[in-house]
Structure 1
Amino acid sequence: MKLRLTSLALGCSTSKELCARFAAVNPETAFTVQNAYKWVRGKATPRLSSVYDDWARILGGGLAASFVAASSFDEFAQTIRGHLPVPDAALAKLRLDHPTPPPLTPPVGEASARTVVRQPSWRPNHWLAGCYLVISLSWSQAEMGNLILGRAEITPADGDDFAVRYTESLFGQDITMSGPMLCDGRTAQAALRCSLSLRTYFLALRAPSPPANVVGGILSGAALHDFEARSMAGRVVLIRDHLDRRDPPLRQGYLAASPALLDEQIGHLGYVDPPGRMAATTQLLALIQATPVQGLLEMPPDALGALGLDFDRIAPGGTRASP
């Protein structure tokens, strides 16, 4: 129903007109006429993060793709009406034509009268849950310039929160960091406690759009195997593991910053199309190694979004460009 509201707000009377709006911001958009037929009618929902990125761009107003994907219809309608014209009568007709299913109610009776029926709570960015290969630059002076590969598991916790467990192997020793992760729909942040040093590390991620094949952000803390315990920060990229085997053939620890070596590891995650995977891997390395601007280290949203689109195309069930 949010796509129908988008059509109303943009003055698009047909799906073809809406497709043209998407194509105007991204000529390679996955919002094609064939897909629009299913998505606009509610027969299916977009799975590619690039669709939500394009959707946010055509709406304007500084909307995040994650909000477009995860917001309720009421939240979505209230927000876009702040900067796009949606007549009350048109919105009322849309609600009438596509009514929201009524909430479940308990059967009438003495026992049920005291029963409180709780509806499932909306969990911001619920698609974050999963297993990931974690890629960052080494903080060790002895391994400067190399990568560190680790593994992260993000699982739902109580309420709307998550729990994250990160493991890596340094100098033959397994290191585990874990802690709660809070997500507000735009960011996902965690304070991780190291089981070895008992130090705390801060993980600040940009909340991804579905299907969340790529999650990126900044990891900061004190260098572990370092006499001076230098304060460090670096970019970190999480790549979803679609195979999620109990004993994955993944290397955890230091790895030379070589596209070929990293591509070999990413190949164990279920991503297809080797040429496309190598191109995405090369782009990933460039993003992690990019020089800070004016002394500030950040994860650029545009570059991260482009990387996510590259991995969406080669993910199992993803949309790959025709040769």
Structure 2
Amino acid sequence: MAQHIAQKLRLTVALLGTVSRKDLAAAFRNVNPNTAFDLGRADKWLQGRAQPRQLSVYDDWSKLLKLEQSGAWIAQSDLPGFTAAICARHGIDRTELERRAGAQFEASSGHEERSLGLALAGTYACYSHALSPYYRGQLIRGSLSIETGPGPHGLTAAYREVLPTGQLLVGGPVTPTKRGLYAFLKETDGDAHFFLCLFPQSRPGSVLGGYMCGGAIIGPEPQPSLTRILIVRLRDPTPEAWGGYLPPDGSIARDLASLGLTIEQPEAVDRQLAQFLVADSKDGGASQIPPAEFRAILDVFDRHWLRHSG
């Protein structure tokens, strides 16, 4: 059974001095133009999420490293034995090779994270359900800007809504992961907080989507709220006055066109976007807990707590 494939590949990369997966694939092709080494799967192999199934890949690997051992040995050997064999064959110190492999892997990972950050950076138009009970059933528009900074991710977001009571501005860190894209946004001079839980970004990154969780800003009572949100990338920043509640008969496609993003078949797109945004809603609005429902439960547990507090 194949084992330690990711670590063995990293040691191979360090030994050969290849700086990218394309370089590694080219090295395999040099020993066998018809190699089954798959550039598309190399990323998973190097991350340890999968391993080559064809024995021919290991045979080509043995030729690449100029080893006397077979491809099957490369697949099945333990890591210390593999490291010792390639160090002896190429006259390199084991500690030095392992140092190179570790440094190169960290640099590669950091480069990928920075590339992801650059791909996310930009300006977006956001559409979600209004959280205020006074505008229930309407959509609200907001602008989102994502910027890069120092560090592996170093991403920060600023989200703005134009409300009847004034401008709402929240901001905070953005965390991209393999399973999702997350942002925790809070108001600098207030107590508004929002959390974005989105699908992971995909190239070319034209749109993001998922959930936004927060409290209603305009309303008589605080209400924990949840709404689906669509975040559409724009080529230019939104005008300062853009935003606020979309009229009940408003069109997202027409609204995007006013921002310079004209989409083909706008009526069909509007239907598709509306279906996405209302899918979790019973009445076309955000998912919210009526305060009275929670107060009834609070009354039960408060009374029990007070009766048994002494």
* TM-score range normalised by the length of the shorter chain: 0.5 to 0.7
Counterpart contact for 1:250–1:268, Cα < 8 Å: no
Shift of 1:217: 1.2
Question: Does the C-alpha gap of structure 1 residues 196 and 281 become closer, same or farther in structure 2, counting only changes over 3 Å?
Answer: farther
Counterpart contact for 1:175–1:196, Cα < 8 Å: no
Unpaired runs of 5+ in structure 1?
A: 6-12, 15-40, 43-54, 56-67, 97-115, 299-323
Identify the match of residue 185 of structure 2 among 189, 192, 195: 192
Q: For residue 142 of structure 1, give the secondary structure of its aligned residue in structure 2.
A: helix
Counterpart contact for 1:192–1:201, Cα < 8 Å: yes
Within 2, Cα distance between the matches of 1:91 and 1:248?
57
Shift of 1:88: 3.6
The amino acid of 1:165's aligned partner reads: A
The amino acid of 1:271's aligned partner reads: L
Q: How does 1:227-246 map to 2 (within 5 A)?
A: 227-242=220-235, 244-245=236-237
Give the corresponding residue for 1:139.
Answer: 131
Q: How does 1:150-229 map to 2 (within 5 A)?
A: 150-159=142-151, 160-195=153-188, 197-229=190-222
The amino acid of 2:239's aligned partner reads: P
Higher RCO (CA < 8 A, seq sep 6+): 1
Structure 1 or 2: more helix by fraction: 2
Shift of 1:207: 1.2
Within 1, Cα distance between the matches of 2:43 and 2:163?
44
Unpaired runs of 5+ in structure 2?
A: 1-20, 26-32, 66-102, 288-310
Residue deviations 1:262-305 (CA, integer Å, cap 9, x gap): 21111134434532x44223211110011359xxx99xxxxxxx
Question: Does the C-alpha gap of structure 1 residues 182 and 164 become closer, same or farther in structure 2, counting only changes over 3 Å?
Answer: same
Q: What's the Cα RMSD here?
A: 3.9
Shift of 1:196: 5.2
TM-score of the pair, normalised by structure 1: 0.55
Runs of 4+, deviation exceeding 4 Å: 71-74, 84-87, 93-96, 116-120
* Corresponding pairs, count: 211
Give the corresponding residue for 2:61.
Answer: 92
TM-score of the pair, normalised by structure 2: 0.57
The amino acid of 2:112's aligned partner reads: W
Counterpart contact for 1:240–1:269, Cα < 8 Å: no
Question: Does the C-alpha gap of structure 1 residues 249 and 87 become closer, same or farther in structure 2, counting only changes over 3 Å?
Answer: farther
Give the corresponding residue for 2:277.
Answer: 288
Q: Percent identity?
A: 22
Question: Does the C-alpha gap of structure 1 residues 236 and 196 become closer, same or farther in structure 2, counting only changes over 3 Å?
Answer: farther
Counterpart contact for 1:161–1:183, Cα < 8 Å: no
Rg (Cα) greater in structure: 2
The amino acid of 1:79's aligned partner reads: R
